[in-house]
A and B are shown apart, each in its own frame.
Chain A
Amino acid sequence: MSTTTLTERSDRSTLFDGLGRYIPIAATIGLLIAMYAGGLANYSNFDNPQLIADLFIGNAALLIIAVGMTFVILSGGIDLSVGSMMAFSTMALAWMTVELGLPAEIAVPVVLVFGTGSGMFTGAVIHYFKVQPFIATLAGLFLYRGLTLQISDRDVSIREIEFFSWGMDRVEFGNVREGGFSLPHISFIAFAVVIIAFIVLHYTRFGRSVYAVGGSEQSALLMGLPTARTKVGVYAVSGFCAALGGVVAAYATRSANPLAGVGLELDAIAAVVIGGTLLTGGSGFVLGTVAGVMVMGMISTIIAFQGNLNSWWARIAVGVLLLAFILLQRFLGRSGEKRKT
């Protein structure tokens, strides 16, 4: 088995190898363009640039969380706790600012540090005690949802806190009435996260280690890469992103809902997979995740434009897309599992 793989590898030209990994992301972008073109052809007002901008407003928290999830999935893990973590962060912010009267300037860093720390803890449990990521983060899913509900089982408004009005203040690009568009500050937070994640993944040692660990942890270890630091690191990144998602959700809704983000982990995983990242780890791009989030947003937009379709069609469409992308990855041949054996 190993010898055949070896010869197979040397037969391939590196150029082809390099291009092959772009096929899933090319498919995602092609799909996005096709959906946009289909929308333009069928609905009036679809050419409004605000429509594209809106994709990054409603999905700002999802985008941030999906970026964190990309790190985890690239390393070959999975993080189910992000939806609960997001709800917990929003609720903790509301509790600290409204109940305790802490200034938001202190509460926000506290929440972010807590998210990062809890991610590190999960990562340490996964790495050192060899607990399956699925189970370790499942505990997180229950724990943070439980803590959120214990703080409050109903909505808490943070409308009174001046600090949180900044998030939805809009920056205008051109005149909105004459073909311009506007974006709130939370979208820029999301963009910043994407850019930082892109740089970290492609231009730092940590990023390279993430790919290496996801490709084959054993090989990464034998190469002398810091697998422990990398695996703990990706969960820390995911925890941070989930907490930041919670902060953004606080900005966006200016209230804390104890049941916010139920099932968000699934949306995030779906966005990552539709974005072309291999669920077995080791292959994928953070910009693909951006495209994945845009595709999911575009599905909802088109369903809203169509008018006579119900929101459940969005779930079915996402499921079908997931199926298509998973099968595409399988039939591209060079899957993660084959490489591992």
Chain B
Amino acid sequence: MNSYLKRLFWPLAVLVALLIVNIAVTGFDFIVPSVHDGRLGGAFVNILRGAVPLLLISLGMTIVIATKGIDLSVGAVYAIGAAIACQWILDRDQSALDTVFTAVVLALVVAAVIGAWNGTMVAYFGVQPIVATLILMIAGRGIAQLITGGQIPSVSDDTPFVELGRGAIATVPVPIVIGLVVFFGLVLLTRTTALGMLLESVGGNPEASRLAGIRSKGITILAYLICGACAGLAGIIGSANLGSADANNGGLWIELDAILAVVIGGTALLGGRFFLLGTAIGVAIIGTLEDTIINVGLSSQWQFTAKAIVVFIVAILQSPEFRAWLLKPFRSGSAAEPTAPEPKPEEKAVAK
């Protein structure tokens, strides 16, 4: 547990630092929730509410990365989930509860099937995860447009569907409730059953796990299935919030944000150990970062640059070679070759 807390220390510190910057600029209203129309509001609650789709995808991504995989198709699955749900409701009685229910279930099932397909490609066909999921990353948005017929379906504001994105249960916004349910569901599933250990085992060494009697192929497929379903659910919540599904731009680049959140949270891309709570903190950091940039008076274009800097710092801090290099900067290596090109990164980093 102690090492677990140590892992979470840096992400938490960054999050707290970001919150302090925001509070310093905009005052305590930033963090204190207020109640509007029977619903919690306030800047920070809104950030969390907006970050729920990213949270769901990042949680699924954490599970996949734990198995030494990666899922690039989540953005496309997000678009497909959103497209199916909106299109289904649009074509039927919009205010009927069972229509909405069917739409959500249908979208989730399709998303889970897509996830299982990715998992099958990885587990049974032995395709690299990046490659296997790249196929759907490219084709997925085409499929989503096929479903919507190239239009952007907008559901009416009366349908119960939009409550999934805008409503509140006991003043807590519905997306946050869903996010918490999925988060604790996954934590319970992976930490109170053997599944979490099996996932880490498969990620650590699939062949050894298989020899130890673990059905590693089934576990891999399950991981991708969970990730797909999470992405579909994220699409449903995202489109419910907007009341429409944009096949082209819905969830654009969310896979990259999700991978970033997972890496910030301390889960290594090499598979093995995973930290769902760390991922959740990573999501909160990314969500807060976007608002911080605007609050401190920079233009919103800075968020890409800020993310790039975060990716770079996190990636390089996780590299043992970099830490070793930092600790002995003045020791000349055994050969001239490793030292000669190395000043270059330094110069460039300064120049940037």
A residues neighboring B (CB under 8 Å): 78, 117-118, 120-121, 124-125, 128-132, 134-136, 138-143, 145-147, 149-150, 153, 228, 232, 266, 269-270, 273, 279-280, 310, 312-316, 318-320, 322-323, 326-327, 330, 335, 337
Contact = CB atoms under 8 A, between A and B. Distances in A.
A135 B269 contact: yes
B135 interface: yes
A312 B150 contact: yes
Interface of B: 70, 125-128, 130-132, 134-143, 145-146, 150, 247, 256, 259-260, 263, 269, 299, 301-309, 311-312, 315-316, 318-322, 325, 337-338, 341-342, 344-345, 348, 352
20 contacts: A121-B345, A128-B342, A129-B316, A129-B319, A130-B321, A139-B311, A143-B308, A146-B308, A266-B134, A266-B138, A279-B131, A280-B128, A312-B141, A312-B247, A319-B140, A322-B135, A322-B138, A326-B135, A337-B126, A337-B128
A142 B304 contact: yes
Interface of B is mostly: helix
Nearest to B260: A138
B284 to A, nearest CB: 19
A63 B137 CA distance: 21
B305 A136 contact: no
A310 B315 contact: no
A118 B312 CA distance: 14
B143 A316 contact: yes
A9 to B, nearest CB: 20
B304 A319 contact: no
Interface of A is mostly: helix
A138 B301 contact: no
B46 to A, nearest CB: 24
Given A139-B308, A142-B305, 10 more contacts: A128-B341, A129-B321, A131-B315, A138-B259, A141-B256, A143-B304, A143-B352, A146-B307, A279-B130, A330-B125
A320 B342 CA distance: 42
Contacts of A142: 256, 304-305, 307-308, 311
B325 A315 contact: no
A337 B131 CA distance: 13
B341 to A, nearest CB: 6
A326 B131 contact: yes
A313 B136 CA distance: 13
B338 A316 contact: no
